[in-house]
A = this chain, B = another copy of it.
């Protein structure tokens, strides 16, 4: 039988696979108990995923050969084909906003803290590629970001405020039980942890208690993703 393959972004050390978009898929696959092998793709390695006729990971190739790109499209595909352990809830009309916030506010705020450190974890052609594409996208140099790290840490801390308030009031981002909201936020947290080699928030932060509750899910996803 053909195996399920996930094309996952990798830095210079093959253990450094911290793309938040790829983490979404790893978390969804683990949640649904769907085994997979990882295929490693560096930032500049567009050849390996050329068969998808686009340039971004994650890419999921199903045992039947179906190819799906884009983390949200992959999530929707998995929900449709493997309805066990659902992550999306019918009627969750505010999920669109949560997703826009994760993409536009949380990812952006974390990235400004991580970018110089991600650059340090790359080598070869990936290093200048990452620097030039990201500096252009953000309109600021990695050097300027590194110099003002404490300012960007403060902005990130303020950005996390609604999440902090929410997780003081309820056990999961998606309410009483884990859902797609938890998957989106957790993927960002794992990205930060992978780059910082440290927790994103201090132990007394309500976000930290939630992260602890998510640990079994994270560990399962990491174990499954280790199979190359």
* Cβ contact within 8 Å between B92 and A98: no
The 8 Å CB contact of A91, one of B90, B96, B108, is B90
Interface: A161 (CB within 8 A): yes
Give A149-163 as 1s and 0s: 1 = Cβ < 8 Å from B's Cβ atoms: 000000000110111
* Bound Cα distance from A179 to B93, whole angstroms: 8
* Cβ contact within 8 Å between A97 and B181: yes
Interface: A133 (CB within 8 A): no
Interface: A175 (CB within 8 A): yes
Interface: A103 (CB within 8 A): yes
Interface of chain A, main secondary structure? helix
* Bound Cα distance from A92 to B98, whole angstroms: 11
Kindly name the residue among A161, A162, A181 whose own CB sees the greatest number of chain B CB atoms within 10 A: A162
> With A105-B161, A161-B105 in contact, do A166 and B94 touch (Cβ < 8 Å)?
no
* Bound Cα distance from A221 to B174, whole angstroms: 31
List of B residues within 8 angstroms of A159 by Cβ: 105
Interface: A173 (CB within 8 A): yes
* Bound Cα distance from A214 to B91, whole angstroms: 22
Smallest beta-carbon distance A188→chain B, Å:
13
* Cβ contact within 8 Å between A162 and B91: no
Smallest beta-carbon distance A95→chain B, Å:
4
Interface: A80 (CB within 8 A): no
Using a CB–CB cutoff of 8 Å, the interface residues on chain A facing chain B are 89-98, 100-101, 103-105, 108, 158-159, 161-166, 169-170, 173-175, 179, 181
The contact sample of 11 A-B pairs, CB cut-off 8 A, is A89-B93, A91-B92, A93-B175, A94-B94, A96-B166, A96-B169, A100-B163, A100-B169, A101-B101, A104-B164, A105-B158
